[in-house]
């Protein structure tokens, strides 16, 4: 069952660099598509040089290896007429092509949608931008932190007295990449019926607004009240106490939605009894969270969990990677895998989060070197 | 033609993860029938944020469940169950997010459903997978953020755990489910075969951290260290962060430190010529930057940095953002209308197809609003 994947037979040409586009290519590769990165000769895509913690493997950053495993690389200089002609022949046989050039660049290269559609009208042509394709921001760099900062998102995380606090991961890239996959695959579903391709466009900013759809909808309909983060242990600007993180004697404890009367009873905190209405759990959030903070500090996380969990209170311990990755709850998922580079090195990374017919998807093909598959692709496709 | 036109989705899910997935399918053109239990319906109807009610129910429910129909049924009642199974027989996709075990007891497990409709795409969401010590734990966003290591990434070093202030686990899980379902629909289009697609909130939030977990495996298990101030990514060097200015905040992504020193008129930054030092000495560099950037307005710094192609941005709140031409041109806000005439504003689907934005003026359904119409339409 696991040998046949849903996107088997789908050919994707990835003209994308960095994170958003390549993360989409990875998801499609894991679902069975064949993904060929079209990279400039020698240096390859820009993401090869963007490292976190200065970590490099086989000449490219570790990040590049995580997001480009399970792909092939075809080196081409799109400004060179012969190279471009070969790439066009490849496009003629592809199902999907993705790029994240700024608006206007593909027109200059001569691979804009109109041109490509004339070569292959079944193709799904998909582009990621930072801020859409029109308006004053089209030329701005489409970068994760900038998209987070412009979208209002940084006002939701952290406590009331903190600076605006971005999410400490590339949420804009990753979520936008996910929307990219959704758009592309839905277009392939339609193509299965009509035989026609599509133009699919996403942007980091629209994806960041979509991430906030619940709270923006609330803001649009509550008289535009600004979000107010809790003073301590904030976990959601719009949710009532006890929602948040609390320090215990030896660590931390997260509390989700819990009726205050029930919580007060179970932990034996009589001070909470005066907050009898549901409305007060939001309106008096700071007071309540302060009372709880003092109360939870009296016992260890383990002691609290042993009281709260049997009573079906929604709470959890707070883990770091050390604790999580050594826990049976993590190990049982089989979430990690090792991919082997051609130089013999291994990259220990994670797999696709999607299971098909109860089987996890493993793919141990490592990220390619620049142009590693150029010659074999030329032969195979008669370029 | 929307890309998922004529796709029928029967949605047994509630709260956010599953319903956010079916909202996306609806916006891409699918018809989504939300099956809700009598009296309360989806519990999310009563899940208020900031005590805000729209037309008597939670604003969150209104946002997540627009563009769907509501079919009222008690899955524990034999007659109701029979009707829902008839719908499932006609459906292309079924979605549920019951805890493991519950769906079997209800008789809507994949093996049963496959017999009724072999080509169905069966999508399910769990909190922590279907085996292991955590399988019975409540699959709730903050709890998953807390257990998955995610809260060690945001905020500054001296803070405790800092959760992301939005239901990021629900959203990512829903988005992965959509990916899996659509891939399976592509296959169904070719072969007629159905597929079971499963995602868990834990696997989804681990996938989100694939860079940092891979780094942890690679660097021998070093602890995550956020920067002392202005943290925006625990694994990136200076200047990556958000900085206070005279009148607001400025986000700085990448940029060579001596070049920033030159542009900003900050001599001290020229003491860091080595790119490696931008990571190893990031705390002191960020402190220098933080002190310096307070001396000028956001506008002033943007005026210097943007022309020099430094990746930077104003840090906006929604009030400011919504006034910008760059936002307005996206037409990201739409007005939707409920069957009783109540109107509210919300966001639209973030995906454009064939150059068109995808909107739908259908608001969220009243509980059981479409039960009768669906019964007649499907001859039940």
Predicted ipTM beyond 0.95: yes
Asked if the Cβ–Cβ distance from B164 to A167 is below 8 Å, we say yes
Give me the residue from A145, A225, A348 closest to B214, CB to CB.
A348
**pLDDT score of A263:** 96
Asked if the Cβ–Cβ distance from B232 to A145 is below 8 Å, we say yes
Asked if the Cβ–Cβ distance from B346 to A143 is below 8 Å, we say no
Tokens at residue A196, please?
Answer: 């026609």
**pLDDT score of B272:** 98
Q: What is the C-alpha to C-alpha distance for residues A10 and A349, in angstroms, rounded to an integer? A: 25
Asked if the Cβ–Cβ distance from A218 to B185 is below 8 Å, we say no
Give span(s): CATH 3.30.1540.10, chain A.
244-325
Whether B239 is covered by a domain: the verdict is: no
Compute how many other C-beta atoms are within 10 angstroms of the C-beta atom of residue A261.
15
**pLDDT score of A342:** 87
Whether B300 is covered by a domain: the verdict is: no
Give me the residue from B166, B176, B240 closest to A354, CB to CB.
B176
Is pLDDT above 60 for A319? yes
Q: How many CB pairs under 8 A join A and B?
A: 485
| Residue A245, strand partner residues | A254
Question: For residue A113, what pLDDT band results from cuts at 50, 70 and 90?
Answer: very high
**pLDDT score of A75:** 98
Residues 166-185 of B with CB under 8 A from A: 166-168, 171-172, 175-180, 182-185
**CATH number of the domain bearing residue B168:** 3.40.50.10540
Task: Please report, to the nearest 10 degrees, the dihedral formed by the alpha carbons of residues B144, B148, B150, B152 taken in order.
Answer: 120
Task: Quote the minimal CA–CA distance from A381 to chain B in Å.
Answer: 23
Q: Containing domain of residue B180, as a range?
A: 8-208+350-377
Q: With the C-alpha atoms ordered A111, A114, A119, A122, is the resulting torsion angle positive or negative? A: positive
**Per-10-residue mean pLDDT for chain B, 380 residues long?**
97 97 98 97 92 94 98 98 98 95 96 98 97 94 98 97 98 98 98 98 98 96 97 97 98 96 97 96 98 98 97 98 98 98 98 98 98 96
Compute how many other C-beta atoms are within 10 angstroms of the C-beta atom of residue A268.
9
Chain B residue closest in CA terms to A149:
B315
Contacts of B199 in chain A (CB under 8 A): 353-355
Q: What is the C-alpha to C-alpha distance for residues B66 and A95, in angstroms, rounded to an integer? A: 32
pLDDT digits (tens, 9 = 90+) for A257-295: 999 999 999 999 999 999 999 999 999 999 999 999 999
A30 at interface of B, judged by CB pairs closer than 8 A:
no
CATH superfamily of A11-211+367-381: Crotonobetainyl-coa:carnitine coa-transferase; domain 1 (3.40.50.10540)
Q: Which candidate, A273, B378, B145, A296, places its Cα nearest to that of A305?
A: A296
Are B240 and B232 contacting, i.e. CB atoms less than 8 angstroms apart?
A: yes
B158 at interface of A, judged by CB pairs closer than 8 A:
no
Whether B232 is covered by a domain: the verdict is: no
Contacts (Cβ under 8 Å, ≥6 apart) of B255: B239, B305, B310, B311, B312
Element (H, E) at B262: helix B257-264
User: How wide is the angle at C-alpha B351 spanned by C-alphas B195 and A220, nearest 5°?
Assistant: 115
Give me the residue from A53, A66, A150 closest to B316, CB to CB.
A150
Q: Which candidate, B320, B189, B80, places its Cα nearest to that of A154?
A: B320
**pLDDT score of B100:** 83
Residues 149-208 of A with CB under 8 A from B: 149-159, 162-171, 174-176, 178-179, 181-183, 185-190, 192-194, 198-203, 205-207
Q: Which candidate, B139, B142, B159, places its Cα nearest to that of B150?
A: B142
Tokens at residue B227, please?
Answer: 């920067």
Contacts (Cβ under 8 Å, ≥6 apart) of A350: A66, A335, A336, A337, B206, B207, B209, B210, B213, B214
A103 at interface of B, judged by CB pairs closer than 8 A:
no
Tally of domains in chain B: 1
Task: Quote the minimal CA–CA distance from A37 to chain B in Å.
Answer: 20
Task: Quote the minimal CA–CA distance from A152 to chain B in Å.
Answer: 4
Give me the residue from B52, B216, B312 closest to A218, CB to CB.
B52
**pLDDT score of A1:** 41
Whether B168 is covered by a domain: the verdict is: yes
Question: For residue A2, what pLDDT band results from cuts at 50, 70 and 90?
Answer: very low
| Residue B249, strand partner residues | B244
Whether B48 is covered by a domain: the verdict is: yes
Whether B316 is covered by a domain: the verdict is: no
Is pLDDT above 70 for A115? yes
Contacts (Cβ under 8 Å, ≥6 apart) of A104: none
Q: To the nearest whole number, what is the mean pLDDT of chain A?
A: 96
Q: What is the C-alpha to C-alpha distance for residues B336 and B62, in angstroms, rounded to an integer? A: 10
For an interface test with A, give the residue of B65, B142, B338 to mutate (most A CBs within 10 A). B142
Domain A244-325 is found in CATH 3.40.50.620: no
Convert B330-346 to b/e letters by CB count within 10 Å (16 or more is b).
Answer: bebbbebebeeeeebeb
Q: What is the C-alpha to C-alpha distance for residues A35 and A39, in angstroms, rounded to an integer? A: 12
Whether B94 is covered by a domain: the verdict is: yes
Is pLDDT above 80 for A80? yes
Contacts of B204 in chain A (CB under 8 A): 353
**pLDDT score of A91:** 98
Contacts (Cβ under 8 Å, ≥6 apart) of B23: B32, B64, B65, B66, B67, B68
Is pLDDT above 70 for A3? no
Annotated catalytic sites of A, by residue? Answer: 236
Is pLDDT above 50 for A303? yes
Give me the residue from B49, B235, B317 closest to A152, CB to CB.
B317
B192 at interface of A, judged by CB pairs closer than 8 A:
no
Whether B24 is covered by a domain: the verdict is: yes
Give span(s): CATH 3.40.50.10540, chain A.
11-211+367-381
Residues of chain A with pLDDT > 70: what percent?
99
Is pLDDT above 80 for A137? yes
Contacts (Cβ under 8 Å, ≥6 apart) of A369: A58, A59, A60, A73, A342
């Amino acid at each position: 069952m696991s040998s046949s994947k849903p996107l088997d037979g789908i050919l994707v040409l990835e003209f994308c660099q960095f994170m958003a586009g390549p993360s989409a290519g990875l998801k499609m590769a894991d679902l069975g598509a064949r993904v060929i990165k079209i990279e400039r000769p020698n240096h390859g895509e820009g993401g090869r040089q963007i490292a976190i913690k200065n970590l490099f493997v086989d000449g490219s950053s570790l990040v590049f290896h995580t997001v480009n495993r399970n792909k092939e690389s075809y080196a081409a200089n799109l400004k060179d007429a012969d190279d471009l002609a070969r790439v066009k022949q490849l496009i003629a046989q592809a199902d999907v092509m993705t790029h994240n050039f700024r608006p206007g660049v593909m027109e200059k290269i001569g691979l804009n949608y109109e041109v490509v559609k004339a070569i292959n009208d079944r193709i799904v042509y998909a582009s990621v931008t930072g801020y859409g394709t029109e308006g004053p921001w089209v030329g701005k760099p489409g970068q994760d932190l900038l998209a987070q900062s412009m979208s209002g998102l940084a006002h939701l995380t952290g406590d009331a007295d903190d600076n605006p606090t971005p999410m400490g991961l590339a949420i804009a890239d990753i979520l936008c990449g996910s929307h990219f996959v959704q758009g592309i695959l839905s277009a392939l579903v339609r193509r299965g019926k009509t035989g026609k391709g599509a133009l699919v466009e996403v942007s980091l900013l629209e994806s960041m607004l979509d991430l906030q759809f619940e709270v923006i909808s609330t803001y649009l309909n509550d008289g535009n009240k600004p979000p107010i983060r809790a003073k301590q242990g904030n976990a959601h600007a719009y949710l009532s106490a006890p929602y948040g993180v609390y320090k215990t004697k030896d660590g931390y404890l997260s509390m989700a939605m819990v009726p205050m009367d029930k919580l007060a009873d179970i932990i034996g905190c009589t001070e909470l009894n005066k907050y009898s209405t549901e409305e007060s759990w939001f309106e008096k959030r700071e007071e309540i969270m302060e009372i709880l903070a003092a109360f939870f500090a009296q016992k260890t996380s383990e002691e609290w969990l042993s009281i709260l969990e049997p009573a079906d209170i929604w709470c959890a311990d707070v883990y770091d990677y050390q604790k999580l990755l050594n826990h049976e709850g993590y190990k049982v998922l089989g979430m990690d895998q090792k991919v082997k580079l051609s130089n013999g090195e291994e990259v220990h990374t994670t797999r696709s989060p999607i299971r098909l017919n109860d089987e996890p998807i493993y793919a141990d093909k490592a990220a390619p070197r620049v142009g590693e598959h150029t010659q074999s692709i030329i032969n195979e496709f008669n370029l | 033609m929307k890309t998922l036109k004529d796709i029928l989705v029967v949605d047994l899910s509630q709260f956010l993860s599953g319903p956010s997935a079916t909202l996306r399918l609806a916006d891409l053109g699918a018809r989504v029938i939300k099956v809700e239990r009598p009296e309360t319906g989806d519990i999310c109807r009563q899940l208020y944020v900031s005590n805000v009610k729209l037309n008597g129910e939670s604003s969150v429910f209104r946002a997540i469940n627009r563009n769907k129909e509501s079919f009222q049924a008690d899955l524990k009642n034999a007659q109701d169950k029979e009707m829902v199974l008839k719908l499932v027989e006609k459906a292309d996709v079924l979605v549920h997010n019951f805890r493991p075990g519950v769906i079997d007891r209800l008789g809507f497990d994949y093996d049963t459903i496959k017999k009724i409709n072999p080509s169905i795409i069966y999508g399910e969401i769990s909190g922590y997978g279907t085996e292991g010590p955590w399988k019975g734990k409540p699959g709730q966003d903050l709890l998953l953020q807390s257990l998955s290591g995610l809260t060690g990434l945001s905020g500054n070093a001296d803070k405790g755990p800092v959760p992301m202030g939005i239901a990021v686990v629900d959203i990512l899980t829903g988005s992965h489910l959509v990916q899996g379902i659509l891939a399976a629909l592509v296959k169904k289009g070719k072969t007629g075969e159905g597929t079971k697609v499963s995602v868990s909130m834990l696997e989804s939030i681990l996938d989100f951290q694939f860079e940092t977990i891979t780094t942890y495996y690679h660097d021998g298990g070093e602890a995550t260290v956020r920067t002392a101030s202005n943290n925006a990514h625990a694994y990136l060097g200076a200047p990556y962060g958000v900085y206070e200015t005279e009148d607001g905040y400025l986000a700085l992504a990448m940029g060579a430190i001596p070049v920033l020193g030159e542009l900003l008129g900050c001599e001290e930054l020229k003491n860091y010529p080595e790119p490696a030092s931008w990571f190893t000495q990031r705390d002191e560099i960020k402190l220098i930057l933080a002190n310096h950037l307070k001396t000028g307005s956001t506008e002033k710094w943007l005026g210097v940095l943007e022309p020099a192609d430094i990746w930077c941005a104003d840090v906006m709140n929604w009030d400011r953002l919504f006034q910008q031409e760059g936002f307005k041109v996206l037409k990201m806000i739409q007005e939707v209308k409920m069957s009783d005439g109540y109107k509210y504003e919300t966001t639209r689907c973030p995906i454009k197809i064939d150059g068109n934005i995808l909107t739908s003026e259908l608001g969220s359904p009243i509980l059981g609003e479409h039960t009768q119409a669906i019964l007649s339409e499907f001859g039940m």
